Chains A and B, each alone.
Chain A
Amino acid sequence: MLLQGHQLRDGCVQPGQQRVEIHKLRQGENLILGFSIGGGIDQDPSQNPFSEDKTDKGIYVTRVSEGGPAEIAGLQIGDKIMQVNGWDMTMVTHDQARKRLTKRSEEVVRLLVTRQSLQKAVQQSMLS
């Protein structure tokens, strides 16, 4: 008889969060990921079409290029980026966020994102 307490196997990922691993694509001199970001603590959050809370100054995915590395890795438009390779993205300026993603020395970025559809599903399952 196996009795376990309520313990998450992977301690770091909360319900409603997703890990996305993007391998950058080389285009000439640049390494690109194939998506666009919006948001930042220096931006006006009320214009964010993807956030539920209009004071949320986090970094959101505003566009995903078709067939690009981000789409292949499973990133979706509207995802909120929480971390990039372990670096926090919830309290950064727009430019800091862009820099975190475009480091030349990194060929792979591991993102931790929250997705509204996932969050809603988790919320609903907790209520039932």
Chain B
Amino acid sequence: MKILGLLSLLATHLSANSVNIEENAGQFFSSGHTNNWAVLVCTSRFWFNYRHVANTLSVYRSVKRLGIPDSHIVLMLADDMACNHRNPKPATVFSHKNMELNVYGDDVEVDYRGYEVTVENFLRVLTGRLPPSTPRSKRLLSDDRSNILIYLTGHGGNGFLKFQDSEEISNVELADAFQQMWQKRRYNELLFIIDTCQGASMYERFYSPNLMALASSQVGEDSLSHQPDLAIGVHLMDRYTFYLLEFLEDIHPASKSNMNDLFKVCPKSQCVSTPGHRTDLFLRDPGSALITDFFGSVRKVEITMETVNLTDPIEQVEQNFVNEDLQKESYSYVDQLPVSEIIHQGLQLVNNNPGLSHPHLSFTGQSVCCRPSSISSI
């Protein structure tokens, strides 16, 4: 990865910026991470917990916008709000009232859905102890150079988070899971955000290095929901995530906002509860950690016109200019989808396509899910 970065510097030219390239090069890898992952979990089901699904999908949307691809996001939604029978706008999940922003969209890829969102599956995803048959989209394939963002939302209490109305995960279990991740070298730095009632209790027990945690409320406080939508009939978002989303909408891949700005999101006047954070386990100064270190997947590219002296000279290949006309073969692109061939060859090509029968493929939004059928979707 390092060699790739240096080669990218060499390959392009830039004018006007007389910054010392070598210094910048050193700065690029100050965070020490080379890839980003995100694990976004919504733990509650039932129609009146619409806002938890909307919370998770908003963070998913921001994280994708800032560059983390679907292959690096593990999205767990405990219930299907878009196709719930009570949704007056099927196949949509809105985060702003008057239906301004549909966070469900066309390209949501849900990895764990419905009853698959359990404490056991969550811990297995984090620690990597999954059966060999688990597809890649359901795995957290992080290494020791990965920065991971973990976002949890649902109903919680002092020291626990409720999964699916039937089980809980305690703060001790979570802390132990993170310690396992540290021992297995599964993360470089980890940012943990939780939006539940008494959320600060969940990060009290962390003891592994390089963890930073944010919560929407302190112990003894409830996190409140933000806005109801009368047409849909439920609360759409929680306050903390609503203001977090607003904050993230201002972040673009090149922004230099750091974690101290993130701590200021949703003060008590807006959130009614007191958001908390914990940085004592984080080895760097939070001011030096960029938002995009966790929320985005930024390729460090800087275009420069200057040359950099490498230690080994590159061998110049002798070029013999031949003046005669070289036979230049003309190349053309092959037709990627030979439609005419397919049509004329008939149906035999369709059966050979393995991707269509994969059960965990992306959940396309608009009209697919909501056929009237007597089989429940989850």
A and B are interacting partners: no
Tell me the B residues contacting A by CB distance below 8 Å: none
